[in-house]
Amino acid sequence: MAMRPRTGDKPAERVPVILETAGEADYRLIDSGDALKLEQYGPYTIVRPEAQALWPKSQAPLWERADAIFTGDTDEDGMGRWRFPREMLGETWPMRLLDADFHGRFTSFRHVGVFPEQLAHWRWMKEQVEAAGRPLKVLNLFGYTGVASLIAAKAGAEVTHVDASKKAIGWGRENQALGRGESLPIRWICDDAMKFIQREERRGSRYDIILTDPPKFGRGPNGEVWHLFDHLAGMLDICRELLSDDARGLVLTAYSIRASFYSIHELMREVMRGRGGVVESGELILRESAGSKQDGETGSGRALSTSLFSRWVPK
């Protein structure tokens, strides 16, 4: 689906912007290196593949005490299995980030139910919701297990959560129940993201904040095919139409793609022509909590790049 022609000036820009997560309550990046990362998720230390970690490990003894290690395909969406060197662990465990309770989860695709680098976006979103003075309407597209939706709803937003996976929607509902949040205003919708937003545009629906975290490739519940490079421009074009007159932001995160952040930055500026505001783009990074220091080196641990992002805000 092609973008509609846009007129008017492009928004102002801020590039490059690096949004950093250095840890929060139940999460921290302990160490990284040799194409791996060692992280703390609640009570467990977990080892997973990480192609961006080109340097050597700096805290070698800590790796020997890992509770879970992902083995198998090292591709972002590749399947594999978990090895538990110390003792067998259950599939899930409780976690808490930004006052939201949810389950960490050992999945066959190396993910663990949350993307902690997104905390940078979630903190921003939480601040927007809490400062608004009214219930903001938040649309969370490709919402996965719903951690962002829970954070937004607990802050006072009315949330529409969309994901094509029935399993992910089920996990999201489980997360909501874990924190006794059944009364939170979240609509859980299992649908193809493009079809959903096309219907929302026809209905005249409007949202104050839109989060979208599309995969490189995916399928909808009825076999709909999503290719990021083919469909991203059309998706953002519709998202622009869904923004309210007093919208607070449109946030795009992109993982595992061979592109510069400038690519999605310029796309976002074209989409938001005539709307004013600012487009800020760059990378999300995780900061090691206990990185070693070499001679003459100061500061905190090393930065691990995880994804590209672009965010439009009204000013």
Instruction: Find tokens 């439009």 and name the residue.
Output: 312
Q: Are 32 and 50 in contact (CB under 8 A)?
A: yes
Percent over 90 (pLDDT), the chain: 82
* Average pLDDT, integer, range 147-162: 98
pLDDT band with cut points at 50, 70 and 90 for residue 296: very low
Residue 73 has a pLDDT of 63
Q: What is the reported pLDDT for 294?
A: 42
Report whether pLDDT(293) > 80. Answer: no
Q: In whole angstroms, what is the distance from residue 301 CA to residue 247 CA?
A: 36
Q: Which amino acid is at 219?
A: R
- CA 174, 219, 73, 148 dihedral sign is negative
- The candidate with the shortest Cα–Cα distance to 211, out of 284, 112, 274, is 284
Q: How far apart are CA 186 and CA 231, in angstroms?
A: 26
Residue 231: which residues within 8 A CB-CB, separation 6 or more?
1, 194, 214
pLDDT of residue 78: 56
pLDDT surpassing 80 at residue 291: no
Count how many residues are written for the chain.
315
Distance (Å, rounded) from C-alpha 62 to C-alpha 291?
12
Alpha-carbon radius of gyration of the chain: 19
pLDDT given at position 128 = 98
Is residue 150's pLDDT more than 80?
yes
Q: How confident is the model at residue 25 (pLDDT cuts 50, 70, 90)?
A: confident
pLDDT tens for each residue of 93-112: 999 999 999 999 999 888 99
> What's the pLDDT tens digit per position in 177-234?
998 999 999 999 999 999 999 999 999 999 999 999 998 888 888 888 888 999 999 9
Mean pLDDT, residues 248-261 taken together: 93
Q: Which two tokens stand for residue 156?
A: 């006072």
Which SS3 state, helix, strand or coil, does residue 234 take? helix
Instruction: Report pLDDT for 247.
Output: 98
Domains present along the chain, CATH in parentheses: 12-23+103-313 (3.40.50.150)
30-87: pLDDT as tens digits: 999 999 999 999 999 999 999 999 999 999 999 999 999 999 765 555 567 899 999 9
Q: Are 244 and 207 in contact (CB under 8 A)?
A: yes
Q: Is 35 left (phi over 0), alpha (psi -120 to 50) or beta?
A: left
The confidence score (pLDDT) of residue 75 equals 56
